[in-house]
Structures are given as C-alpha cells and as structure tokens.
Amino acid sequence: MENRITVSVKNTEPYDVLIRNDFDGLSDSLAGIFGSECGICVIADRNVSQIYGDQLKEELGRVYKKTDIIELDLGEEHKTIDTVTKCYSFLIENRYSRRDVIAALGGGICGDVAGFVAASYMRGIGFVQIPTTLLSMVDSSSGGKTGVNFNDYKNMIGAFKMPSLVYINTSTLNTLNEREYASGMAEVLKAGLIRDGLFYEWLINSFCEINDREPEYVEQMLYKCIDIKRMYVEKDPYEKNERAILNFGHTIGHALEKYTEFKYSHGQCVALGSVAAAYISRKRNYLTTEEYYEIRDMFVPFNLPITLQDVDVDKVLEYTRSDKKNTAKTTRFILLKKIGKGIISEDVTEDEIREAIGQIIFDPDD
C-alpha cells in the first residue's frame, strides 16, 4: 500500500512524500527522479544504520553501482559544523559530484545535518529524506529547513533545501522506544491544535490505537499531519509569515531544551511549550479555561510531560530571548485563537511568558 502527497513550492520542482510499509519502492522512485547513473551517499544515524543499513544498501544496489553509507553519532551534541565537515571530507575523498545524491536515513537531526550538507556541498546536490522516527516523518523531513546548532543555540546555522523525495517506511516505527515515539506525538498533536480541531479530536479519541501503533491509524495520522505541513510550506516556503504557525510550542520548547541540556527530547519540550502557549491563549480569552485544561491534560495519555521540577524561570526566559524567530524589539509567539486555529502574535510580553513558564513548574509542596 502506498499513499502519496505532492508538495509544490513556487520556483522549485514539486516533490512527493511517499508513505509505504517497506523500502521496496525506494530505488525505482529515485531512478524516476535522478536516473540510474548517479551515486547515492546515505548519511545515517549510526544506530539506525545498524538496523536498516544492510537492507537499504541491498535495495539501492538493485539500481545503483555506487552507494555508500556514512554512519554518524547524531545526538544534539553532534549536530554541529564539525559533523558537517566530516561529511564534506568523505564526499570529496570518494569523488561525489553535483550529479550525485545525498540521502538522510534517521531522525530529525540526521535530516537536518544531511540536508545542510546537500545544500552546501558543491553549492547544492540532490537530496532525499528517508525518515525513521515519528518526529521526522510528521515534521522535519518535509519543508526544506536544514541546519546545525551553534554554541548550543538550536539551528542557528542552516539553509533551505527542498528534498526531491521523502520516502517514509512506516515499519521503522516499530523499532522506536516509547520515549522516541512519544516525542513525535507532540508534533502530531500540534498539527491538530493549530489547524484542524476535528483531527485533534480524532487523535484524542484514538489514543489507544495510536499508542499501540496500529498501522491503519498510524498511516491516517501521518497522512493528515504531512498534508497540514504541506499547506503551510506551499503558502510560505521560507517562513516569512504564515509558516511560523508551525512553531507552536517551540519558543519556550527550544528554551527548555537548552536549559535542560537536551536531557529532555524535542517533543517533550514542545509539549511543555505548548502547554505554556495554551495558557497565554487562555489568559487572553482566546481559549476557555476548560479548553486550556483539556489541551494540557491530553498530552499525558501520549506519554508526554506537562510539568518540570526545579526550573529557573529567569534562565528559561533568557533563552527565549535568543530564539532565532524573534526580532530585536518583539517576541514572536504562536498562540491558539481556538482549538484548530493557530495565530502569530508579535506582542507577547515577558510578563506573560514568565507567568506561562510558571504554569509548567511542578511544586511538590503544593
């Protein structure tokens, strides 16, 4: 079975997001785009490559004579220019040219690093995403944002590089641990909150089947999330305006990632940031009190946190100021006008942010 979503961005070639349950169609899909004479260099998360590397190389070998896999350790601490430099060295030493293709095999960090390499090596070569985590499937693999961290600041160095293909093998989700799967669910819930209240309601009603990773539910969930992402990317491919709505939960979320030294996953921090953003939305009377508590509490069945202990509010607030989406004078913040409608606010105050951070601090003495 195959589902296909086509993303059409102005002034670039349209690309497909394929949702399948195997790798069997990958080589033929690549040959349809790039032909069969190019080389394919797979930049892979080492842990993922140990599970799927041989299978992927066998599939690519059906069509391509030159295939390599660069295995990298790819935690947040490795999402750096040094890692990018290792990739450049390999590509140069193995004589990869502009005719060739880079494929990312792994999660969001792998896609960000490989995408940045593809955008910058020889001023840009072909790029394919093969995401293997729920987080990367529903969010980072489509849309063209790539980049690396700088001095622990998230994605400060990067480029837009649209993939020529996103190939999703849903069976890879079966090897994710619970924490990684839950991390992706934060972005899934976000998609419903900012764009489609009925989808959000379906997610809540289907949490047992989704947590059990039942294929029918997972495929339906993926298709809807990717289609929501497609809509924003097509309208605003370079995040000049409306696409910023996809950053709901991310301003405080990114600050919490840095504050916790990445001990909490991206999705866990986005969940916490979403609770804080929903709180500001309630304080502005966009959401009712009941809606706010529903949003907060519904992260719990998907194994996501809604509080942290021992948080230095001033330090987290300081990190929000360095968020790359802010301007010199304002804090850009994504709020909810209602469940299913995200909006961009340019006038969220530090007092509002401070109070919202306070709502996600657990006090054992209370």
Over the stretch 215-264, which tens digit does the pLDDT of each residue have? 999 999 999 999 999 999 999 998 889 999 999 999 999 999 999 998 99
Task: Give the DSSP per-residue string, 266-314.
Answer: HHHHHHHHHHHHHHHHHHTTSS-HHHHHHHHHTTGGGT--S-BSS--HH
Extents of the domains making up the chain: 3-175, 178-358
* Class for the domain spanning 178-358: mainly alpha
8 Å CB contact between 208 and 156: no
Over the stretch 154-202, which tens digit does the pLDDT of each residue have? 888 999 999 999 999 999 999 999 999 999 999 999 999 999 999 999 9
Over the stretch 4-55, which tens digit does the pLDDT of each residue have? 999 999 888 999 999 999 999 999 999 999 999 999 999 999 999 999 999 9
For 111, the token pair is: 């896609």
Over the stretch 26-35, which tens digit does the pLDDT of each residue have? 999 999 999 9
Q: What is the CATH number of domain 3-175?
A: 3.40.50.1970
Bridging pattern class, strands 101-106 and 40-45: parallel
Mean pLDDT across the stretch 71-91? Answer: 94
Distances in whole angstroms, Cα of residue 337 to Cα of each of 310, 325, 332, 345: 31, 20, 15, 10
Q: What is the pTM of this model?
A: 0.93
- Position 75 scores a pLDDT of 86
> What's the CA gap between 71 and 85, in Å, rounded?
14
Unique residue bearing structure tokens 């696409």: 243
Bridging pattern class, strands 341-345 and 153-160: unpaired
8 Å CB contact between 108 and 266: yes
Q: How far is CA 209 from the centre of its chain?
A: 22
- Position 326 scores a pLDDT of 57
